[in-house]
Amino acid sequence: MRPIEQKYGIIGASEEIREVIRTIEQVAPSNISILIYGESGVGKELVARALHDLSLRRHGPYVIVNCGAIPAGTIESELFGHKKGSFTGSVEDRKGFFETADKGTILLDEIGELPAETQVKLLRTLEQGEITRVGESTSRRVDVRVIGATNRELSEEVQAGRFRKDLFFRLKTIMIRIPPLRERREDIPMLAEFFMMQYADEHHLAYKPITPQAMNLITQASWEGNVRELKNFVQSVFVLEEDKIIRPETIRHHLGNSEGNGNFMYDTRFPVRVNKETEQVERELILRQLFLIRQDVEEIKQKLSFVDVKDEVTMNKMKDISRYIQQSDAHEIQVDLSPDDRTMQEVERDMISRTLARFYGSKRKTAQALGMSERTLYRKIKEYDLRD
Ligand SMILES: Nc1ncnc2c1ncn2[C@@H]1O[C@H](COP(=O)(O)OP(=O)(O)OP(=O)(O)O)[C@@H](O)[C@H]1O
Ligand SMILES: [Mg+2]
């Protein structure tokens, strides 16, 4: 295996990544605000974290706010706090993320999503180092380093009138652009091997080497979803393949561009070809569904964690929200992935019944979600004696 080159958890040896790392090292110690730009999945959060960890504020709080996940109506009070009674439901004074991040760093993820009024307030905070809670008239000083992340071309957003020019100019003094994976293909083998190793490690499984030819195919793929997609791909191949070695056929098969009838069941993320033994297809489908469900759970977790902070009040609030979601959606997201003694039939039965429940009994939607025909679904409902 090749040596894995990484710095601050950022893997890669391409000139592009080295340049990103050089910039991080140069600008981290200052207080200047930074804009990180790159397509989805290129590693913006990783870079932001490295900036905080290398700064003099590293012992201070690090707060991540996903501006795209907070409703426009509450974002101002979430960021800047509010005074009791300033709007319906504000039963007590509350500080916002900026105050929470005092003496630390705030990452405004998806900053392009900020509503126009909030952009004005943010600019003031950047210029004067102070915030005003919603409903208050006096301002408070905050000492926060701001990092913005975006996968939108902000200059275009400015042109289109969706992002304020003055805020853009203020933020872009230092811009770190992370190139998409297809512009730095030499990083792909190292990343693929690392994710394979990481997955094997986490699940106490044996590492599966990727043959050089298979690695060539991986390296040539388009990776529109960048490193995140590559990571998911490598892990799904690991889960779905029984072979101890990852060969080109396997990669071709999972990338979904092999010759043959190319008849994919539904999800281009993890195509399952249908010209196989039914049993094998079913097995793959089940594993794939399990994998996708796990991914959905991860996504839900990520959406929930629009704040990531060790502040006690906020942590408790987040716990409440997450408890609430777990209760209300329990039937959708509780899937035990630990190895168990159930047979494949039992797993399948369980999955069909959960999916039926999820779609309130709709056979069409259930069949679609499970990638099987309605006819097969009806047959299985009967076979497993599931309530119709
Ligand atoms: N160079 C890298 N080395 C190791 N892991 C990486 C690298 N780049 C990205 N990753 C991993 O890929 C995944 C996506 O990265 P990240 O969340 O930072 O992307 P992002 O640019 O913030 O995407 P989005 O715009 O969708 O939020 C994460 O699991 C991250 O750890
Ligand atoms: Mg991100």
Residue 271 has pLDDT above 60, yes or no: no
Cβ 112 vs Cβ 150: under 8 Å: yes
Residue 50 has pLDDT above 90, yes or no: yes
What is the reported pLDDT for 330? Answer: 43
- Mean pLDDT across 186-194: 97
Q: Which domains occur in the chain, in start order?
A: 7-179 (3.40.50.300), 182-259 (1.10.8.60), 291-383 (no CATH)
Contacts of 227 (CB under 8 A, 6+ apart): 41, 42, 43, 181, 191
What is the reported pLDDT for 372? Answer: 85
Q: With bands split at pLDDT 50, 70 and 90, how would you rate the model's confidence at 220? A: very high
Please state, in angstroms and rounded to a whole number, the distance separating the CA atoms of residues 130 and 242. 58
Reported as a single tens digit per residue, the pLDDT across 95-130 is 999 999 999 999 999 999 999 999 999 999 999 999
Overall pTM > 0.85: no
What is the reported pLDDT for 81? Answer: 96
Please tell me the total number of residues recorded for the chain in this structure. 388
Structure tokens at 288: 């794939």
Structure tokens at 186: 């030499």
- Residue among 53, 65, 51, 127 nearest 99 (CA): 65
- Residue among 148, 154, 199 nearest 174 (CA): 148
Q: Which residue has the higher pLDDT, 265 or 9?
A: 9
Select from 228, 233, 235, 298 the residue to mutate for testing ligand 1; criterion: most ligand atoms less than 8 Å from CB.
228
Structure tokens at 91: 């039963």
> Among 62-76, 150-164, 253-267, whose mean pLDDT is lowest?
253-267
Please state, in angstroms and rounded to a whole number, the distance separating the CA atoms of residues 234 and 232. 6
SS (H, E, C) 166-182: HHHHHHCCCEEECCCHH
- Average pLDDT across the chain, whole number: 83
What is the reported pLDDT for 353? Answer: 87
Indicate whether residue 176 lines ligand 1 (CB < 6 A).
no
Please state, in angstroms and rounded to a whole number, the distance separating the CA atoms of residues 125 and 109. 17
Question: 45: CA distance to ligand 1 center in Å?
Answer: 6
Q: Which residue has the higher pLDDT, 371 or 247?
A: 247
Reported as a single tens digit per residue, the pLDDT across 56-81 is 999 999 999 999 888 888 999 999 99
Indicate whether residue 355 lines ligand 1 (CB < 6 A).
no
Indicate whether residue 181 lines ligand 1 (CB < 6 A).
no
Q: With bands split at pLDDT 50, 70 and 90, how would you rate the model's confidence at 258? A: very low
Find residue 94's DSSP bridge partners. 82
Question: 386: CA distance to ligand 2 center in Å?
Answer: 41
Q: With bands split at pLDDT 50, 70 and 90, how would you rate the model's confidence at 284? A: low
Look-up: residue for tokens 């991040």?
Answer: 101
Please state, in angstroms and rounded to a whole number, the distance separating the CA atoms of residues 52 and 61. 9
Contacts of 312 (CB under 8 A, 6+ apart): none
